[in-house]
Amino acid sequence: MRITTPGVYEMTAAEYHADPCPAPSLSASMAGVLLSRSPLHAWHAHPKLNPTWKPSPSSTAQEEGTALHALILEKRDAVVVIDAPNYQKKAAQEARDQARAMGLIPILADRWEELRAVPLAVRRQLGAHQAKAAFTNGRPEVALIWQEETRAGTIWCRSLIDWLPNDPRGFIDDLKTVASSAEPDGWGMTAAKGGVPIQAAFNMRGSSTLRGVPCPGVRFVVVERDAPHALSVCQCGPELIALGRQKMEAAMELWALCLRDNAWSGYPPFVAHIDAPNHVSMQWEERQLREEQIRDWRGSSPLVTQSATPWA
């Protein structure tokens, strides 16, 4: 699939990740690589820049997450149930590989029985939630393709949206399935350190640019893959939104510069000065203090002799 004009498009995940834009485009995940690692890593991970690029094989956990997306977003036809307890036998492996080759999601039968209960649990919990309108009155899994003007030139950007509301003034809904806990504080700390702020910034910028109305934000519906499939709904606060926007704009400027000059540098080409973080220094100081206290205590305590047999 090839896109020539900005817009909102329906496409498969494979088509999206292969980059359908006329020129190498910047996504939230690519911006994360660009900022957290280097332009060289971004070049290596980009399908339009690296001539040897191949899509990464999906793990079982990733396929389960993708299957849950399909089920919760009412796209059941994307899932193929493999009638086997595991992938040890050749027949099961062939059925799995055939499903993947067709762009479908293979799920083992035993795990399928557990996963297909998740959408009901999600709908039941959302029905009693403040965000009960999540995943309603909208379109699932659409790609936003737009252009940005930077100091180094015009670039293409893209963002894959789990649920785009029909009302451009509505919240974008993003589904996160986790193998651990969906508890808001715990998930929020992990999300803040990861790519969630940049993802929210890209989603909001793409929607606002293409639909002509400021997007109010992104709601992250976080669902536990294992029973009882508890969920939480999280939204970035003002500081996190500002941080995501700053990172997004910095990535856009750097991306445009790399594309213009065709220069994809790695880590800094000079000797880097590293030092102990504050917490490491504090831990050592506390250890020294404890050792000093122990020495003082031993010096003020009477000599204690120990029997050769501890029970004597």
Kindly state whether residue 293 falls inside one of the protein's structural domains: no
Structural domain including 171 reads: 7-261
Instruction: Tell me what pLDDT residue 50 has.
Output: 96
CATH of the domain at 41: 3.90.320.10
Q: Is residue 213 in some structural domain?
A: yes
Q: What percent of the chain has pLDDT over 90?
A: 59
pLDDT at 203: 98
Residue 280 is given by DSSP the state H
- Does residue 41 fall inside a structural domain? yes
State both tokens at 85.
């307890």
Hey, what are 204's tokens? 């909001």
Measured CA to CA, the distance from residue 266 to residue 8 in angstroms comes to 34
- For residue 159, the SS3 value is strand
Determine the pLDDT at residue 127.
94
Q: For residues 44, 50, 54 and 56, what is the CA-based torsion angle, rounded to 10 degrees?
A: 20
For 127-162, how does the pLDDT look when each residue is reduced to its tens digit (9 = 90+)?
Answer: 999 999 999 999 999 999 999 999 999 999 999 999
Q: For 183-225, how does the pLDDT look when each residue is reduced to its tens digit (9 = 90+)?
A: 999 999 999 888 999 999 999 999 999 999 999 999 999 999 8
Number of domains composing the chain: 1
> Any bridge partners for residue 233, and if so which?
221
If one compares 23 and 194, the residue with the highest pLDDT of the two is 23
Does residue 308 belong to any structural domain of this protein?
Answer: no
Domain-located, residue 273: no
pLDDT over threshold 80, residue 301: no
Domain annotation covers residue 282 = no
Q: Using the predicted structure, report yes or no on whether residue 255 has a pLDDT greater than 90.
A: yes
Residue 312's pLDDT is what?
42
Instruction: Read off the pLDDT of residues 160-184 as tens digits, 9 standing for 90 and up.
Output: 999 999 999 999 999 999 988 999 9
Q: Per-residue pLDDT tens for 83-131?
A: 888 888 899 888 888 888 887 888 888 888 888 888 999 999 999 999 9
pLDDT by residue (tens digit) across 256-287?
Answer: 999 999 999 999 889 988 888 888 888 888 88
Provide φ and ψ at 37, rounded to 5°.
Answer: -120, -90
Name the pTM for this structure.
0.84
- CA–CA separation, 187 vs 242, rounded Å? 19
Burial (CB count <10 Å: 0-12, 13-18, 19+), residue 217: middle
Binned at pLDDT 50, 70 and 90, residue 310 comes out as very low
- d(Cα 174, Cα 160) in Å, to the nearest integer? 10
Output the pLDDT for position 254.
Answer: 97
Give the tens place of pLDDT for each residue, 44-71.
Answer: 999 999 999 988 777 777 888 888 888 8
Assigned domain for 100 exists: yes
Q: How far is CA 293 from CA 281, 282, 300, 305, in A?
A: 19, 16, 11, 21
Distance CA 156, CA 24 (A): 7
pLDDT score at 308 = 47
Within the chain, where are the H helices?
13-17, 28-36, 39-45, 60-72, 90-101, 109-115, 118-127, 184-193, 196-211, 238-261, 278-300
Q: Does the residue 280 lie in any domain?
A: no
